[in-house]
Structure 1
Amino acid sequence: MNIVVVTSVSALAVAVVHSVAFAIGRRIGRYNVVDVVWGLGFVAVAVAAATLGHGDPVRRWLLLALVSTWGLRLSWHMYRKTAGQGEDPRYADLLRGATPVQALRKVFGLQGLLTLFVSFPLQLSAVTGPTPKPLLAVGGVGLAVWLVGITFEAVGDWQLWVFKSDPANRGVIMDRGL
């Protein structure tokens, strides 16, 4: 498959993810569900790229695993963070007086387009040939950066959760940890 097909299917996948999130947000009266599906949009693109691409299979499936691990972790974290909470004040301000169609466009459409744009290197990597040997080291560095990054995210999220779990910290800003 070529980049046009991979990008088109990726766009469709992101549109489905964000449309479902919009419907859920509308039903529960909160549009901050878009924060939960941010990571899932990237997972949808990674699935499309890995399954439709004809590029280096090791790279395609490794990227699917890495993006899925990151995206699912982020979505789970955001779900736990926002479950049972009211609307995020940012979205309340942005959408004050907005119609549902305007909310769909301003929040879900915009984030869907951003997901598609930011994930373009992932889409492109799915249709490019084998990685030249000199660039394998770059891939190794990228994997190391990903590992450090996801470790920092997970540890930081855990530290924040522990901090917020202590009633003595209610209303206090965390200024220690990672």
Structure 2
Amino acid sequence: MGDFARMALASAVLLAFIQCAAARWSRRASRWAVADVVWGPGLAAVALLGLLTGHGGIARGFVLAVLVCAWGARLGFHVWRRLRAHDEDDPRYVRMADGRSTATMMLRVFGIQAVTQWIVSLPLQVAAVSADPHGITWPLTILGAVVTAGGLVFEAVADRQLEQYKQLDPRPRIMDRGLWGWSRHPNYFGDACVWIGVYVIACSTWPGPLTFASPVLMTGLLVWGSGARLTERAMDGRPGVDEYRSRTSMFVPWPPRTR
């Protein structure tokens, strides 16, 4: 338990440093959305920390580091490109900042994100100080790796399809092509799969199963927190959106309903 305590503390310090740097960047850029850029890379940094400083099994730690770093780097670059393409800040943060002081926003955005990242990264922390699985538990690691890799690809394809849609001229009123015809939020679904897979990998040795707060929190945020729920609210009133909602699954991909 001492090894985990040290890893948990080291992860907390690392994430606090990353969020402080992000807060400084945010102030210089006058953009609260900088927080979204560092979300993925921050979790990837914890995976690397575990691989380089943890005393757990090398094989599983390497698999986790590769998968989470690939996910974090892609997501961070994707959000950074989106940030650069617009001069104004994300409307979510603009609404959040209304009537609040800068200090309050710093704590609300970057402080809460650091705590959230620490909880989400619990499977990585536990895996970093746990031995590699043996015998019958290896298939669990393989299953988790497949789910994580599949979620990464699913999210990347969904983001790419959305980018292509935004470049169309004229643009259809509703994006219901490709994966978006089976789920209204396929990118968020892929993101959830990544962290469900990471949790499954951690479950291959004890006390990995105890880190269930990670996928629960991540999925909750993606569905009811800052993900799908806010996007659905922004879609209210658009022409064709009610019909799209009536035939398309909200989160889990499913064949579209036919009348």
| Smaller-chain TM-score bracket | over 0.9
SS in 1 for 2:170: helix
**Separation in structure 2 between the aligned mates of residue 174 and residue 26 of structure 1, nearest angstrom:** 34
**Deviation at 1:97?**
3.0
TM-score, scaled to structure 1: 0.94
CA contact (8 A) 2:50 2:124 kept: yes
**Separation in structure 2 between the aligned mates of residue 149 and residue 130 of structure 1, nearest angstrom:** 23
Partner of 1:68: 69
Structural mapping, 1:23-62, within 5 Å: 23-62=24-63
CA contact (8 A) 1:25 1:33 kept: yes
Give the counterpart of 1:160 among 159, 162, 181: 162
**Deviation at 1:173?**
3.1
**Separation in structure 1 between the aligned mates of residue 49 and residue 104 of structure 2, nearest angstrom:** 28
**Separation in structure 2 between the aligned mates of residue 132 and residue 101 of structure 1, nearest angstrom:** 49
CA distances 1:77-102 after superposition (whole Å, capped 9, x unpaired):
11112214211111111112322221
Bigger relative contact order, structure 1 or 2 (CA pairs below 8 A, ≥6 apart): 1
SS in 2 for 1:2: helix
- Gaps (5+ residues) in structure 2? 180-259
Partner of 2:143: 141
Q: In the alignment, does 2:23 pair up with 1:18?
A: no
Letter in 1 for 2:9: S
**Separation in structure 2 between the aligned mates of residue 70 and residue 177 of structure 1, nearest angstrom:** 21
SS in 1 for 2:178: coil
**Separation in structure 1 between the aligned mates of residue 174 and residue 6 of structure 2, nearest angstrom:** 46
**Deviation at 1:133?**
1.2
Partner of 1:151: 153
Identity %: 36
Letter in 2 for 1:60: G
Letter in 2 for 1:13: L
Letter in 1 for 2:100: A
Partner of 1:88: 90
**Deviation at 1:130?**
2.5
Letter in 1 for 2:166: K
Higher helix share: 1
Letter in 2 for 1:3: F
**Separation in structure 2 between the aligned mates of residue 10 and residue 98 of structure 1, nearest angstrom:** 29
CA contact (8 A) 2:40 2:75 kept: yes
**Deviation at 1:174?**
0.9
Partner of 2:231: none
CA contact (8 A) 1:3 1:124 kept: yes
CA contact (8 A) 1:36 1:79 kept: yes
Aligned positions, number = 177
TM-score, scaled to structure 2: 0.65
CA contact (8 A) 2:67 2:149 kept: no
Task: Name the stretch that deviates more: 94-103 or 131-140.
Answer: 94-103
Q: In the alignment, does 2:4 pair up with 1:7?
A: no
**Deviation at 1:150?**
1.2
**Separation in structure 2 between the aligned mates of residue 127 and residue 30 of structure 1, nearest angstrom:** 37
CA contact (8 A) 1:17 1:40 kept: no
Q: Please provide the CA RMSD for this pair.
A: 1.4
Q: In the alignment, does 2:123 pair up with 1:121?
A: yes
Partner of 2:184: none
Structure 1 segments, 4+ long, off by >4 Å, are: none
